[in-house]
Chains A and B, each alone.
Chain A
């Protein structure tokens, strides 16, 4: 009885997926407060691979805004330019709303540029590591954007979509061949397909088959299969850990990969603040 009681009192150990990491600080308060409340009192962990995804998404939104402001005559001009090409850049609704408010707040370029600079150089890291120990697990050795933010003559350089030449994801999949085989052999029955309207599990299955056949797991391919990568590293780095996510794809992968998942659904109709795409 005593043992059971002490187990009950143990705070849950959560592995934060990119969706939770982003929503707990950058989503509008009705959502971010709910996420933080759900995490309160828990031990939190995450990985370098999640950090790379987070960095790519957060920094590229702010760097794009910085570039547009610095190269525009005024803030209104920058706002219009960003609006016109935000889909091409890949700025989703969450960060677009965020930036739109900044454009309204500031009257002149310099304070806005300074604000973006501090977001890019310091703030994002503080948000990412909030209540998380700095020593992150790293079995993927992902190097994408590892040296970002970089600036040249006052202009920040966005993190490229393509993986850098020293990317080590091939080695990761060599070591996790069994998981690849399980993913490739997945054949979700009809009842489970209804829970995967985007067909993510099917896409992951195809990608796993391609990697097994010797095709590259890098760049866009890595993005498609990233939920599986995060599931595997959480499972292997912290046995028994629960993956905390707002992305339902992890629920679909848990039986295949043997993970524990806490899918957090916000209590609000407007749940499109986080685009539920693999790798995002």
Chain B
């Protein structure tokens, strides 16, 4: 019986006997490696499709994911069909024998696991949103109504992060978040200057980049810089009086 397989990339049927088997194997290996790389794509994780642990664990344990998992995560699988690929067991068997190849994949996927664990913290997703908001604010800083609206949204987002940090023991990160929130809460956005904007950027960068590693000195330095910028940091401003007095 003549063996034919549907070529995975272009959908055409290929006559195996008429092909150089080495070329075919190389082609499959390359596609498979790409498959795994695609599976771990960080941008997919960041887009909220982070829960692929089952899939990754299956790969790490060197067994194929269940059909259910393939269906469940089909939206993040690469353009190559898993089921079609699994049918090519004879080729996969050979790949199993390649220990170095699997070691590389394991190491690669373990890195991805770290990324997955990190990105699943809910407040970090919020912080990413704040960073995006800041970019919008920077772009539209000259337009005062836009600035006012974005500052108000950012303040609400920071309040939400503060709430999310309630259950976390990340003291100094919470302090930094609360400080930036205070700046937006106690100062009318229309009074902000471009130097203040730079300071806000610095603070948001610190919060996003250092995250849980923020320490007391980071906070102290940030507070001092805001203080020297003559922004109001405590509820004594007209805005605070308007908002929080009976």
Interface residues in chain A, defined as those with a beta carbon under 8 Å from any beta carbon in chain B: 25-29, 32, 36, 97-98, 100-102, 104-105, 108, 110-111, 114-115, 117-118, 121-123, 126-127, 130
Contact = CB atoms under 8 A, between A and B. Distances in A.
Most chain A beta carbons < 10 A, residue from B178, B219, B234, B241: B234
Nearest to A31: B236
7 contacts: A102-B244, A105-B244, A108-B163, A117-B171, A122-B220, A126-B224, A126-B227
A83 to B, nearest CB: 12
B183 interface: no
Contact of B178 (A104, A118, A121): A118
A28 B223 contact: no
Interface size class of B (residues with CB under 8 A): 20 to 34
A102 B240 CA distance: 10
B235 A29 contact: no
Given A122-B223, A123-B234, 8 more contacts: A27-B236, A28-B236, A104-B245, A111-B162, A114-B171, A114-B174, A117-B171, A126-B223
Contact of B240 (A101, A110, A130): A101
Contacts of A108: 163, 166
Given A98-B234, A102-B235, A118-B178, A111 B163 contact: yes
B182 to A, nearest CB: 8
Interface string B157-190: 0000011001000010011001100000100000
A96 to B, nearest CB: 12
A117 B244 CA distance: 20
Given A111-B178, A114-B171, A122-B216, A101 B235 contact: yes
9 nearest A-B pairs in the assembled complex, by CB-CB distance: A101-B244, A101-B235, A104-B244, A110-B166, A118-B175, A111-B162, A28-B236, A29-B237, A126-B224
Contacts of A127: 227
Nearest to B232: A29
A117 B169 CA distance: 14
Contacts of A126: 220, 223-224, 227
Most chain B beta carbons < 10 A, residue from A29, A97, A130: A29
B133 interface: no
* Chain B contact residues, majority secondary structure: helix
A98 B163 contact: no
Contacts of A117: 171
Given A29-B237, A110-B166, A122-B216, A115 B227 contact: no
Nearest to A109: B166
A29 B186 CA distance: 11
A25 B224 CA distance: 13
A123 B233 contact: yes
Nearest to B174: A114
Nearest to B220: A122
Contacts of B74: none
A114 B178 contact: yes
B72 interface: no
Contacts of B27: none
Nearest to A102: B235
B163 A130 contact: no
Contacts of B166: 108, 110-111
Interface in B214-242: 216, 219-220, 223-224, 227-228, 230, 232-238, 240-241
Given A108-B166, A111-B163, A130-B227, A118 B219 contact: yes
B234 A26 contact: yes
A274 to B, nearest CB: 13
Contacts of A122: 175, 216, 219-220, 223
A121 B215 CA distance: 13
Contact of B234 (A25, A36, A111, A130): A25
A122 B233 CA distance: 13
